[in-house]
Chains A and B, each alone.
Chain A
């Protein structure tokens, strides 16, 4: 449960977001998700369930995929956070973003930021995942629109260029 604002002491939390150092004065138990969305204006991470089940609030924290709705911001102090807004190289989409776009991996789009970050994380661990590894690797992120098929296709497509090399 969220403590009420007036009674809450704030403190400064510093962490890198998408490569830029940010300092925020918030209650240390504020959820990382809320800090990203409300304090830093990074609304790409979404709240789907608020209990770490759906993965739509997924971000990368020091290279790990975390549910930002479960992370008290104090825990992010000193860390390096990457959100969906930090995935594209300016106007050039990340290969996964491009593949999601082409393969129908995004329908309503609400799970998409988290799903793409989960896929980024998967490919960092396993650059050439098998279909079973893709299936397992994304099982923490729920999608209600696609039945996942086109998401798997998107991930497979994004790794293809490396296969060709």
Chain B
């Protein structure tokens, strides 16, 4: 008999709940589903970046009567994708603001006929001058959004930064850039929608946030809450790329279904998915830092700008996270952080793992190496002298209460990566040959959960119910898309109820079945939703115990009997728990000051690279990822989050370049947008420290986004260590290396300086 002291489920690597279906091919993704009488939908998109629609004409060679055609005029509700500012239309009616903007929808029973039909719709435009870069947008010579092209601005101020410059021994400046990145989930965006007047609209889709889609469909379709149902199918990767976009594609399918009265499936092919959907925001960060003689940061100014694309979508929130993470895990006695998200005529950039933090942290971590060089100390020493310590405050003046010891975390990472011995060896070996080796580090943090008062606004609700058969069901809208939501939440409920893991299931996210536990984003699920699931599970136990049906310790059979008796008497056994903000958490949305996050995860990453001066390629040879993420609920899943995130971030640093032409991605194929294959990646060695966290279930913190933040700066720092050339822009491709080294050798002829040379 297992008592509560014996059954340890949390912290063990139980089998993934839906794992068997995934390894046998039985798992059902949206494209695996077909409904009777189903049509296929396609989207006619803008060919220009900015302008007005003058005329739409249909080639008479096509039998248009066989097609369902939807334009903005067919929208029963409001023509917008309801999210934050509601500025993005579902279908462009008159104005075009980016290439590939949806204008018109088609549906037909034979999907083979759609491609030709899309081409047979001709749209005549009157073009307007577009804006295609962040710099151009800032100049404001062409206004494309609002009155100043700015979606959102933040200002964070701490201390008297204006007075520090005169005391500084060094003033270090730097400018850093990151490019767009495609999420590249292997399953493209897709949905099926059906409609009938009695039940309203139902959407089955590949998505992260069922209630975001629900909210968007209510506004678009003009239907009451009970006439919109959203069901999440098995989802083949998301990474943020299925946070806001599913509202768009679901809206399109719903409009076609409402007009035709038949179910409609829209599944993008890879080219459409890449060209039309969201990517990571490109960014530019400028640092100006006052540093003392011994390398202590006295204060600084940070300016962080992101390119939001044509509509506001989530840019304000991405900017917020980038802003709060911009100062890294360091103590700033004074700082001024000015940030903004600006508009350009490209498809809107959106959520992607890390959500602004990988961009501003790339800058911070490159800048730390720069400061070290100016001060004349090592990249390790500069970090040790500036690490945040418990009791100190962050840039938003949040006091660190966690018992984090970044100094020892760094020491352990250096040991694990054999950093010092390798540095010594490379210094000798690099004198000869064309393959130069280097070591780079990045130290960083990532806030878990929604920022500031965000969790309070979300007001998440979760449920746990037990059946007469003693089987427990977790009811949340939190979606599984590979990261392990199903498994981890079932572990937490099973442990709370002292039941075998097998006796706990999780409901498929369906807005008619599960309450709104918030979106599956922001590394919040294990920590925030997990804690609520734990409380709700305890509620079941308490109910049975209060009814006199269950003692302090019990077998699963006794639990089942208790459930059966309770349900026979009362009809159902369900426990719901709503988020309750921890006391003493203070956040000022106006001044952007206070407790930004209930908890931070902390990390030190070490990259070992080779730079081949013959092929101009950079290879990562070894990668150590050490992090403190609170309690690790499931070691295999946690490690998988880190290895996967590091791989994606290696892509961000060295491989993945979106090539833009007039605001449109032109390398929108897997053959020319290159993500890392199994042959490209180093051994990714993952290590955890587990300090715990009072706010999370069993002391868990967020983990999913953290590994996206550190690899890029660690790698570029290592490249500089290997060849002494400073790169401040990613992705860093062989052609960039070639160009910089060519310039380097040219300059060597005219200059005798031995110092590191800067380059974009």
Interface residues of A (CB under 8 A from B): 1-6, 37, 42-51, 53-54, 56, 83-85, 87-88, 93, 97-98, 100-113, 116, 134-136, 138-152
In contact, B186 and A53 (Cβ under 8 angstroms): no
CA distance A51 to B670 in the complex (A): 8
Partner of A142, one of B183, B235, B643, B677: B677
- Chain A residues with CB under 8 Å of B677's CB are 139-140, 142
Q: 7 closest A-B pairs (Cβ-Cβ)?
A: A44-B25, A110-B236, A108-B482, A109-B22, A147-B647, A107-B482, A84-B25
Q: How far is the CA of A153 from the CA of B187 in the complex (A)?
A: 24
Task: Tell me whether A50 and B185 are in contact in the complex, defined as CB-CB below 8 angstroms, given that A85-B25, A145-B237 are known contacts.
Answer: no
CA distance A84 to B484 in the complex (A): 22
B731: shortest Cβ distance to chain A, in Å?
17
* Residue ID in chain A nearest B671 by CB atoms: A53
A150: chain B residues at CB < 8 Å are: 636, 639-640, 643
Q: Is the CB of B26 within 8 A of A102?
A: no
Is residue B679 contacting chain A, with contact meaning CB distance below 8 A? yes
- Closest partner residue, chain B, to A96 (CB atom): B23
The interface residues of chain B lying within 8 Å CB-to-CB of A43 are 25, 28-29, 31-32
In whole angstroms, what is the CA distance A46 to B28 when docked? 11
User: Is B24 in contact with A144, judged by CB distance below 8 angstroms?
Assistant: no
Residues 267-309 of B contacting A (Cβ, < 8 Å): 269-270
What would 13 more interface pairs be, CB under 8 Å, given A1-B115, A43-B31, A104-B636?
A4-B112, A4-B113, A48-B188, A50-B269, A54-B186, A106-B22, A107-B237, A110-B186, A110-B187, A145-B640, A146-B643, A147-B684, A150-B639
Within 8 A of A (CB), among B436-490: 481-484
Q: Are the C-beta atoms of A113 and B670 separated by less than 8 Å? A: no
Given known A142-B186, A150-B640, contact A108–B236 (CB-CB < 8 A): yes
Give the interface centre of A37, A113, A148 by most chain B CB atoms within 10 Å.
A148
- Ordered by A's residue number, 30 sampled pairs between the chains whose C-beta atoms are within 8 Å are A5-B112, A5-B113, A45-B25, A46-B29, A46-B186, A48-B670, A49-B270, A50-B270, A51-B669, A54-B670, A83-B25, A84-B24, A85-B26, A93-B20, A106-B16, A106-B22, A107-B237, A107-B640, A108-B235, A108-B237, A109-B23, A110-B186, A135-B679, A136-B678, A141-B678, A142-B675, A145-B482, A146-B640, A146-B644, A147-B684
Q: Report whether A111 and B186 are in contact in the complex, using a CB–CB cutoff of 8 Å.
A: yes
**Size bin of chain B's contact surface:** 35 or more
Contacts between the two chains (Cβ within 8 Å), count = 180
Cβ proximity bits B635-647 to A, threshold 8 Å, 1 near / 0 not: 0110110011111
Instruction: Pick the most buried of A102, A111, A149: most chain B CB atoms within 10 A of its CB.
Output: A149
C-alpha gap A62/B186 in the complex (Å): 26
Residues of chain B within 8 A of A116, CB atoms compared: 23
B24:A93 contact, CB within 8 angstroms:
yes
Within 8 Å CB of B640, what residues of A? 104, 107, 145-147, 149-150
Question: Considering residues B19, B23, B185, which has the most beta carbons from chain A within 10 angstroms of its beta carbon?
Answer: B23
* CB neighbours of B684 from chain A (8 A): 147, 149
Give the distance in Å from the alpha carbon of A4 to the alpha carbon of B110 in the complex: 8
Residues of B within 8 A of A49 (CB): 270, 669-670
Whether the pair B186, A139 counts as a contact (CB closer than 8 A) is no
